[in-house]
Amino acid sequence: MSMSDINAQRERIAVMGKSLFDRGLTMGSSGNISVRLEDGGWLMTPTNACLGRLDPARISRLDRDGRLLDGDRPTKEQFLHTAMYEQRPQSGAIVHLHSTHSVAVSCLPDVDPCDCIPPLTAYYVMRVGRLPLVPYHIPGDPGLGDAVRGLAGRHSAVLLANHGPVVAGKSLEAAVYATEELEETAKLYLLLRGQNPRGLTPEQVAELEARFPRD
Ligand X SMILES: O=C(CO)COP(=O)(O)O
Q: Which residue's C-beta sits nearest to ligand X?
A: 75
Residue 56's contacts (CB-CB under 8 Å, 6 or more residues apart) are 7, 10, 11, 13, 14
Task: Catalogue the E-assigned strands of the chain.
Answer: 32-36, 42-44, 60-62, 68-70, 93-96, 133-134, 157-160, 164-169
Instruction: Give the 3-state secondary structure of residue 45.
Output: coil
Residue 181 known to be catalytic: no
Residue 77 known to be catalytic: yes
Cα gap 215→164, rounded to integer Å:
21
Binding to ligand X (CB under 6 A) within 29-68 occurs at: 29-32, 47-48
- Answer whether 26's CB lies under 8 Å from 51's CB: yes
Nearest approach, Cβ of residue 26 and ligand X (Å): 8
Query: Which of the residues 11, 86, 123, 177 is marked catalytic?
Result: 123
The answer to whether residue 106 forms part of the interface with ligand X (CB under 6 A) is no
Number of residues that bind ligand X (CB under 6 A): 11
Considering only 9, 75, 82, 99, the residue that binds ligand X (CB under 6 A) is 75
Kindly list the residues in this chain that would bind ligand X in the complex (CB under 6 A). 29-32, 47-48, 75-77, 96, 139
Residues taking part in catalysis: 77, 123
